[in-house]
Amino acid sequence: MSTMKKLGERKAIEAIRQILSLPRMPIPFGDDVSGLEIGRNLVAILKTDMLVKETDVPPTMSFWQAGRKAVVMNISDFAAKGVKPIALLVALGVPADFLKKDVEQLAEGLNAGAREYDAYVIGGDTSEASDLVISCSLFGLSKRGLLMLRSGAEPGDILAVTGLFGKTAAGLKLLLENLSVSSTIGKVFLDAVLMPQARLNEGLVLSRVGAVSSSIDSSDGLAWSLHEIRRASNVGFIIDYLPVATEVLRFAKRNNVDPVELALYGGEEYELVLTIKQRMWKKALRAVKQVGGSLIRIGRVTEEAEMILHWEGRTISIEPRGWEHFKSGK
Amino acid sequence: MSTMKKLGERKAIEAIRQILSLPRMPIPFGDDVSGLEIGRNLVAILKTDMLVKETDVPPTMSFWQAGRKAVVMNISDFAAKGVKPIALLVALGVPADFLKKDVEQLAEGLNAGAREYDAYVIGGDTSEASDLVISCSLFGLSKRGLLMLRSGAEPGDILAVTGLFGKTAAGLKLLLENLSVSSTIGKVFLDAVLMPQARLNEGLVLSRVGAVSSSIDSSDGLAWSLHEIRRASNVGFIIDYLPVATEVLRFAKRNNVDPVELALYGGEEYELVLTIKQRMWKKALRAVKQVGGSLIRIGRVTEEAEMILHWEGRTISIEPRGWEHFKSGK
């Protein structure tokens, strides 16, 4: 019999999709968020994402940080679509022996995560569960033309990201294995794990300038995000600059870890992965800088369905794998 | 140290509310649903409710029924507010050894529950968890003036419900204890537990005719619903007709169980509890009948903050208790 462990999250979702009666939707099933037309060219945007303590909360993460992360995970998907989050509901599953002060810490973290992105927690539900489960559902509004989908990338477009990769993967390695690193770099990695940032300002401004042909966040890893855009847009990629943080390069060298693995396949990173029309590149760059962000050109979109990385003189084939519930993780 | 078990769901929610930065909202925090003004007199309505297998899924309930129930629980809250549900997202937490066919049954149940009420499951999230957790979040739109809140009941209003109580409580007793009942009545009780119905048509038509001064669903039990309306509306109630199903009366007699207990404090029932302006009673009654429902007058709203039941010549004080996570249940 096929179990979830054998099947993996992605095939399970595909099996569920086959069963659902789907209406006409402005955003295809399986994109980062769901959408519903509500008239006047407006689209109601909805997103739900569940954080489970056992698989999603690394050691040393506080309840405050777990609450905040549960919110940021959802905000990041809105960022990737260029949608301003307005409010969220939180369904909490909490063990009966949980302390009141821990629930309060969790609530402080949820509230802080929402307020950080100018959204509000406006309601929810509390249930008894065997492990801590935080299920957020986020609501926002968008104009149809402003949505940035996974589909739409075209050959010749510039491939770009909003930050450097590998810090979260290195941080998780630090927490779970016994590796050596300077305390300064250790702090950078732990911050990446414990205090993830959603690129909301970047996503919103890029949606406004209309420069983006496709977009996704990188919560399942850079390689997987590229694979998803490739699949939705029917294109390929050549990457000639690996966006890896210098701290990650140093850490990788010192501990004999492959930096390409850390940068491409880590997951739990919340940068945006975007394709941008060539003629709009400068405008996009300026817009992102104006909101204090960065936009890093890492390659280009190709017609062939390839995923290739040029790195230190080698040509590496990027595999369509990344973080996946039931398959990855503990 | 105070644990969730000692605190109970309601005090935990109150503690969380104290922490949240709440914006101005058209529906007060703690009502059955949350709302956000989105212009043109429209209110976006959001609701999340989590079903946890260990506490919310009774023995003999199939995965199909559990999926359907998770949706119906949320629809019932929309029904109580007079809001048409449009679409929902589902975040699933599933153990790794779960079978693919069980997840498919679950998805079939989710889809069936949504379609039954003319809504759609349009997206979601799948995570690994130690116990099955189904977190639904439901979206709809309402005009501000059509919303039926918990507040608004006034002395002299008629107190009414949309059906008879006690079948679910009797059914749960049947499943968990070893009680005697005829097979016909047993089936009625089990149906109430396994195939709950949300009173959506009743809620929608009552909102349209504008007869209702306050409304809530009875998912935590009739007594608790009355307590909530009392608290939100600052009124009291005298009940002179106990809305208890005849099958429940027979079952109670045969097994020496208190029928008042079954009807008032059971929970997991999805009738609407409403207060209706006297002059609008006939109109409300006609409207509900037209959609095939029933509206049962059970008492009246009083100025004093009492909750009194007249039953078989006795005057019984209704206690503000009902089903509560962490306190009730297994």
Q: CB distance from A243 to chain B under 8 Å? A: no
Question: Do A178 and A313 sit in the same domain of this protein?
Answer: yes
- Strand partners of residue A49: A136
Which of A125, A146, A167 is at the close of a domain?
A146
> Does the structure show a pLDDT above 50 at A330?
no
Which residue of A lies nearest to B116 if distances are taken between CA atoms?
A: A21
CATH number at residue A308: 3.90.650.10
Report pLDDT for A104.
Answer: 96
Q: Which of B7, B22, B115 sits opposite A100 (nearest CB)?
A: B7
Which of B115, B146, B177 is at the close of a domain?
B146
Q: Which of A15, A131, A139 sits opposite B44 (nearest CB)?
A: A139
Q: Are A186 and A251 in contact (CB under 8 A)?
A: no
Q: Are B86 and B119 in contact (CB under 8 A)?
A: yes
Residue B104 lies in a domain: yes
Question: Do B241 and B135 sit in the same domain of this protein?
Answer: no
**Helix A63-81 crosses helix A200-209 at what angle (to 10 degrees)?**
10
Q: Which of A1, A44, A48 sits opposite B125 (nearest CB)?
A: A48
> Does the structure show a pLDDT above 50 at A252?
yes
Question: Do A187 and A306 sit in the same domain of this protein?
Answer: yes
Q: Which of B120, B127, B325 sits opposite A21 (nearest CB)?
A: B120
> Does the structure show a pLDDT above 70 at A235?
yes
Question: Do B123 and B190 sit in the same domain of this protein?
Answer: no
Residue B323 lies in a domain: no
How many contacts, defined by CB atoms under 8 Å, are there between A and B?
Answer: 265
Residue A327 lies in a domain: no
DSSP, residue by residue, A152-208: ---TTPEEEESS-BSHHHHHHHHHHS-----HHHHHHHHHHHHS----HHHHHHHHH
Question: Do A167 and A139 sit in the same domain of this protein?
Answer: no
CB atoms within 10 A of CB A317: 8
Residue A325 lies in a domain: no
Q: Are B193 and B131 in contact (CB under 8 A)?
A: no
Report pLDDT for A328.
Answer: 65
Question: Do A43 and A129 sit in the same domain of this protein?
Answer: yes
Q: CB distance from A14 to chain B under 8 Å? A: no
Which residue of B lies nearest to A94 if distances are taken between CA atoms?
A: B4
**Residue B213 is which amino acid?**
S
Cα separation, A187 vs A173, in Å, equals: 13
Report pLDDT for A239.
Answer: 97
Q: Which of A48, A104, A122 sits opposite B19 (nearest CB)?
A: A104
Domain span at residue A311 reads 158-317
Report pLDDT for B328.
Answer: 65
3-state secondary structure string across chain B? CCEHHHHCHHHHHHHHHHHCCCCCCCCCCCCCCEEEECCCCEEEEEEEEEEEHHHHCCCCCCHHHHHHHHHHHHHHHHHHHCCEEEEEEEEEEECCCCEHHHHHHHHHHHHHHHHHCCCEEEEEEEEECCCCEEEEEEEEEEEHHHCCCCCCCCCCCEEEECCCECHHHHHHHHHHCCCCCCHHHHHHHHHHHHCCCCCHHHHHHHHHHCCEEEEEECCCCHHHHHHHHHHHHCCEEEECCCCECHHHHHHHHHHCCCHHHHHHHCCCCCCEEEEECHHHHHHHHHHHHHCCCCCEEEEEEECCCCEEEEECCEEEECCCCCCCCCCCCC
Report pLDDT for B330.
Answer: 41
Question: Do B56 and B76 sit in the same domain of this protein?
Answer: yes
> Does the structure show a pLDDT above 90 at A80?
yes
Which residue of A lies nearest to B106 if distances are taken between CA atoms?
A: A16
Report pLDDT for A176.
Answer: 85
Question: Do A124 and A178 sit in the same domain of this protein?
Answer: no
- Count how many domains chain B has: 2
Instruction: Divide the 330 residues of chain B into consecutive groups of 10 and give the mean pLDDT of each group.
Output: 86 92 95 95 96 90 97 98 98 94 97 98 94 96 95 98 97 86 92 96 97 96 96 97 96 94 93 98 98 98 96 94 67
Q: CB distance from A178 to chain B under 8 Å? A: no
Reading the block at residue B135, the tokens are: 């977190």
Please give the helix or strand (H or E) that residue A56 lies within, else none.
Answer: helix A53-56
Reading the block at residue A24, the tokens are: 């006409």
Question: Do A134 and A166 sit in the same domain of this protein?
Answer: no
| pLDDT tens readout for residues A132-176 | 999 999 999 999 899 999 999 999 999 999 999 999 999 999 888
Question: Do A141 and A189 sit in the same domain of this protein?
Answer: no
Q: Is the pTM of this model over 0.90?
A: yes
Question: Do A76 and A218 sit in the same domain of this protein?
Answer: no
Q: Mean pLDDT across the stretch A233-262? A: 96
Q: Mean pLDDT across the stretch A274-302? A: 98
Question: Do A253 and A179 sit in the same domain of this protein?
Answer: yes
Residue carrying the six token digits 């927490």: A175
Q: Mean pLDDT across the stretch A92-117? A: 96
Probe site for chain A from B55, B127, B323 (most A CB atoms < 10 A): B127
Residues of chain A in contact with residue B267, where contact means CB-CB under 8 angstroms, are none
Residue A322 lies in a domain: no
The complex's ipTM works out to 0.94
Which of B94, B114, B146 is at the close of a domain?
B146
Residue B330 lies in a domain: no
Helix ranges (DSSP H) in A221-327: 222-233, 246-255, 259-265, 281-290
Report pLDDT for B170.
Answer: 94
Residue B58 lies in a domain: yes
Report pLDDT for A258.
Answer: 95
Residue A169 lies in a domain: yes
CATH number at residue B74: 3.30.1330.10
Q: How large a percentage of chain A has pLDDT more than 70?
A: 98
Report pLDDT for B59.
Answer: 85
Give the number of residues written for chain B. 330
Q: Mean pLDDT across the stretch A25-39? A: 95
Q: Which A residues 65-104 touch B at CB under 8 Å?
A: 86-87, 89-101, 103-104
Q: Are B25 and B33 in contact (CB under 8 A)?
A: no
